[in-house]
Amino acid sequence: MTQTADRTPIEIKLDNLPGGPGIYQFKDKTGKVIYVGKAKNLRNRVRSYFMTKPVGPLIAKMISLIKDVEIINTDSEVESLILEMNMIKQLKPRYNVNLKDDKSFPYIVVTNEPYPRVFPTRRRRNDGSRYFGPYTDVGNMKFSLKMLRDLFMIRTCSLNITQEAIEKKKFKVCLEYHINKCEGPCEGLVSQSEYNQMIYEVEKVLQGKTLTLIRELEEKMKDAAKSEKFEEAALQRNKIDSLQVYTERQKIVSEDFLDKDIINFVKEEDDACAMILNIRDGKVIGKRHYYLDTVEDKEPVEILENVVFRYYSENTFIPDEIHLPEDADSTESSIEALEEWFIKNFNKKVEFKIPKRGEKVQLLAMVKTNARYMLDELKLQRLKREFIPNSVTSLKRDLRLTKLPRRIECFDISNIQGTDTVASMVVFIDGKPKKSDYRKFKIISAINEVGRPDDFASMREVISRRFRRIAEKKVEPIPVIANEETTDSESPPDDEKNMKVYSDPSFESIPDLIVIDGGKGQLSSAVKVLSDLGIENQNIIGLAKRLEEVYLPGASDPQSIPKTSSGIKLLQRVRDEAHRFAITFHRSLRDKRTLKSELEDIKGIGKLTAQKLLKEFGSVEKIKDAMKENFEEFEKKAGKKAAERLREWVKQKL
């Protein structure tokens, strides 16, 4: 009794597992499914995870998280295979192989209509239409589609052509009919059976069965010639010639004429790439690849099962043979389950082969080489995304920062002769400006005792307005997106527009480094605000304009940084951009204020009239020039009353 009481619920479950086929689900302490697997013998398979034997780090981590096991019995292994794949697709467990495309590839669709259309699409619909592809080479897909439309009279319109519409004469033939590109199904000029016979030939080409189609057309040509239907025989001959030109573009790799797919993969650490090569009538007609992750501790059979199930679930054409690499040789029962799956779902027997020698092994090696190339491409793209410029790493070294300054925010105060004080915030990510995150501020209350702008108070205000939202929300840092490009056309919003908006992504992001455009005084003002807000351990520096000196909080002397350092040059670019952005904003505010005081303050000239005049003439100076050159013409454009008041205003100014 004591021993039973000490056993955990999962240990009791393991002792009571059935021995038949089915699937098992491992769950963590929250009840979330972290792995789904299938087994011919559930008892043996599930218990094997908890045996004291060496396992990979990923499996060891998964086992440590397992707090519950749930099983579903099935009548056969093929049923467990189907159920496993469907549950993986639905639940996306953390420790299952994650199979994904690197992009959305196009298909050629033959629609499910009385008179089908043929066109490219990237979206598959469950409407009975037949899809061919996907095509990884879009250029090859476009060539195939052009060849089909040159060779076959496929309609290109999107009309809903039914027998009822034809009888009611709802549609009329278009230009395509008159230039012999369409047989006019919209007016019933070709029967449905004849049109669909042509679509049958189109599908043969899309399936890669061009040699089979050529043989069929040769028989039709001979029959037509015997019956003295020479025009029809000539039409078939032209089709044959065009198809032979098309097939010459395809590489011959097999002397037999069986339809087969060659599947192989490469695995490196936690990533893999699987490649499927399509061979029809002995010629290569296409290929497809998938990227996979979470594969570090996975057996080859599990990777291959995922690829086979996913690929053939998306394709309408099923080959006669599928060739797998030698790694799958120890998985005889899984291969049998896959063969049963093809029979059950596609009503076709597919023979799985694991070649040992000859040209078939060479084909597998070629596919593996291509898969290696695609995996290297994926790694190269990742390196590009994760690349951090030397200037960023140099800045971390020069300033002895606690982390890489991937997101830098710089603040600058701008005012001219004490008016229209503004501040700017510019953002650099991985050494490049991210202009969509720029922000500008109108300084509201930063005035000293004598009524002049106080730069220290201005800096305190802008830092408070920028970081108080982080202090209030206690948000988590938003991950930096490396090398995100922006353009000058992006218009960053005013801070005033965001005063009540707490979902501003720029204000929710926490910078790796704050740069204050100023010396020790302005830096101290900013540090004091951050401290009052409870924001600690924040990297912040001051960059003095005069001698390009860098100050750290609490240090009386500037940092000794070589003038040739790429890090200091990055700081200068950031500071110069903040200054430019602040000056631009300041000038726009000053111009608006100047225009308002000069026009709207004139008695009898309201806001709408002032806007109308500025739109018509462009500026106050141009208004004055127009009045001097030809007052009568000016009066027509400005209006009699407005022109008279403006003339009086000008006289008073003189």
> To the nearest 5 percent, what fractions of the chain are helix, strand and coil?
50, 15, 35
Within 10 angstroms of residue 554's Cβ, the number of other Cβ atoms is 9
CA trace torsion 38, 41, 45, 51 (10° rounding)? 170
What does the DSSP assignment read for 161-224?
Answer: --HHHHHTT-----HHHHTTS---GGGTSS-HHHHHHHHHHHHHHHTT-HHHHHHHHHHHHHHH
| Mean pLDDT along residues 561-567 | 84
pLDDT for 482: 40
Query: Measured between alpha carbons, how far apart are the two ends of the chain, in Å?
Result: 111
> CATH code at 269?
3.30.420
What's the rounded Cα separation, in Å, for the pair 55 and 503?
45
For residues 171-196, one letter each, b for 16 or more C-beta atoms within 10 angstroms of the residue's C-beta and e for the rest, the string is: beebebbeeebbbbbbbbebeeeebe
Asked if residue 451 and residue 343 are part of one domain, the reply reads no
Asked, for residue 395, whether it belongs to a domain, the answer is yes
What does the DSSP assignment read for 601-621?
Answer: TSTT--HHHHHHHHHHHSSHH
Confidence of residue 252 (pLDDT cuts 50, 70, 90): low
Residue 55 pLDDT greater than 50, yes or no:
yes
Kindly report which listed range (24-38, 42-56, 423-437, 632-646) carries the lowest average pLDDT score. 42-56
Q: At what angle do helices 631-638 and 607-617 cross, to 10 degrees?
A: 130
| Mean pLDDT along residues 100-124 | 81
Asked if residue 433 and residue 327 are part of one domain, the reply reads no
Q: Contact at 8 Å (CB) between 38 and 77?
A: yes
Q: What is the pLDDT of residues 452-480, one digit of tens each?
A: 667 788 888 888 888 887 776 654 444 44
| Mean pLDDT along residues 155-182 | 88
pLDDT for 411: 92
Token pair of 434, please? 């991210």
Burial level of 371, CB count in 10 A (0-12/13-18/19+)?
buried
pLDDT for 410: 93
Instruction: Find the largest Cα–Cα distance for the chain.
Output: 113
Q: Contact at 8 Å (CB) between 462 and 441?
A: yes
Asked, for residue 119, whether it belongs to a domain, the answer is no
Residue 342 pLDDT greater than 80, yes or no:
yes
**Residue where a domain terminates, one of 384, 418, 436:** 384
Asked, as a colleague might, if the bond just before 493 is cis with ω within 30 of 0, I would say no
Kindly report which listed range (16-25, 36-45, 644-653) carries the lowest average pLDDT score. 644-653
Burial level of 361, CB count in 10 A (0-12/13-18/19+)?
middle
The letter for the amino acid at 452 is R
Residue 502 pLDDT greater than 60, yes or no:
no
| Mean pLDDT along residues 402-416 | 86
Asked if residue 606 and residue 547 are part of one domain, the reply reads no
What's the rounded Cα separation, in Å, for the pair 115 and 193?
9
Asked if residue 421 and residue 562 are part of one domain, the reply reads yes
Tally of residues, the chain = 654
pLDDT for 417: 58
Closest by alpha carbon to 425, among 527, 501, 493?
A: 493
Asked if residue 502 and residue 540 are part of one domain, the reply reads yes
| Mean pLDDT along residues 259-285 | 85
pLDDT for 419: 63
pLDDT for 497: 43
Closest by alpha carbon to 618, among 653, 640, 591?
A: 591
Asked if residue 378 and residue 343 are part of one domain, the reply reads yes
**Residue where a domain terminates, one of 354, 384, 414:** 384
pLDDT for 601: 67
**Mean pLDDT value across the chain:** 80
How far is residue 260 CA from its own chain's centroid?
A: 33
What's the rounded Cα separation, in Å, for the pair 528 and 540?
12
Confidence of residue 5 (pLDDT cuts 50, 70, 90): low
Q: Contact at 8 Å (CB) between 9 and 66?
A: no
Asked if residue 623 and residue 606 are part of one domain, the reply reads yes
pLDDT for 494: 47
> CATH code at 517?
3.30.420.340
| Mean pLDDT along residues 570-594 | 81
Q: At what angle do helices 192-206 and 210-226 cross, to 10 degrees?
A: 140
pLDDT for 481: 39
Confidence of residue 9 (pLDDT cuts 50, 70, 90): confident
Confidence of residue 596 (pLDDT cuts 50, 70, 90): low
Residue 598 pLDDT greater than 70, yes or no:
no
pLDDT for 619: 74
Q: What is the pLDDT of residues 196-231, one digit of tens each?
A: 988 888 888 887 777 778 888 888 888 888 888 887
Q: Contact at 8 Å (CB) between 206 and 108?
A: yes
What's the rounded Cα separation, in Å, for the pair 383 and 392?
16
Asked if residue 452 and residue 315 are part of one domain, the reply reads no
pLDDT for 251: 58
The total of structural domains in the chain comes to: 4
Asked if residue 563 and residue 418 are part of one domain, the reply reads yes
Asked if residue 641 and residue 579 are part of one domain, the reply reads no
Asked, for residue 195, whether it belongs to a domain, the answer is no
pLDDT for 428: 93
> CATH code at 89?
3.40.1440.10
Asked if residue 438 and residue 371 are part of one domain, the reply reads no
pLDDT for 500: 40
pLDDT higher for 301 or 477?
Answer: 301
Strands (E), 380-460: 407-416, 419-429, 432-433, 439-442
Asked, for residue 147, whether it belongs to a domain, the answer is no
Within 10 angstroms of residue 523's Cβ, the number of other Cβ atoms is 26
Kindly report which listed range (9-23, 77-91, 319-333, 389-403) carries the lowest average pLDDT score. 319-333
Q: Contact at 8 Å (CB) between 442 and 454?
A: no
**Residue where a domain terminates, one of 96, 118, 144:** 96
pLDDT for 43: 84
pLDDT higher for 546 or 441?
Answer: 441
What's the rounded Cα separation, in Å, for the pair 203 and 213?
10
Residue 158 pLDDT greater than 70, yes or no:
yes
pLDDT for 513: 92
| Mean pLDDT along residues 322-349 | 79
Which range has the top average pLDDT, 241-250, 460-469, 623-632? 460-469
Residue-range definition of the domain harbouring residue 82: 2-96
Residue 427 pLDDT greater than 90, yes or no:
yes
Residue 175 pLDDT greater than 60, yes or no:
yes
The letter for the amino acid at 195 is Y
Confidence of residue 243 (pLDDT cuts 50, 70, 90): confident
Token pair of 310, please? 């996913």
Q: What is the pLDDT of residues 187-200, one digit of tens each?
A: 888 888 889 988 88
pLDDT higher for 133 or 33?
Answer: 33
- Sheet containing 33-39, strands listed edge to edge, beginning at the edge strand earlier in sequence: 33-39, 22-27, 68-73
Asked, for residue 14, whether it belongs to a domain, the answer is yes
Kindly report which listed range (185-194, 571-580, 608-617) carries the lowest average pLDDT score. 608-617
pLDDT for 449: 56
Kindly report which listed range (176-185, 455-464, 489-498, 554-563) carries the lowest average pLDDT score. 489-498
| Mean pLDDT along residues 404-425 | 82
Which range has the top average pLDDT, 229-238, 539-548, 562-571? 562-571
pLDDT for 101: 57
pLDDT higher for 459 or 418?
Answer: 459
Q: Contact at 8 Å (CB) between 523 and 541?
A: yes
Q: Contact at 8 Å (CB) between 106 and 131?
A: no
Confidence of residue 426 (pLDDT cuts 50, 70, 90): very high
Asked, for residue 103, whether it belongs to a domain, the answer is no
Asked if residue 564 and residue 436 are part of one domain, the reply reads yes
Asked, for residue 105, whether it belongs to a domain, the answer is no
* DSSP summary character for residue 122: S
Residue with tokens 């189609």: 213
How far is residue 108 CA from its own chain's centroid?
A: 23
State the number of CA atoms in the 13 A half-sphere of 68 facing the CB. 9
Asked, for residue 128, whether it belongs to a domain, the answer is no
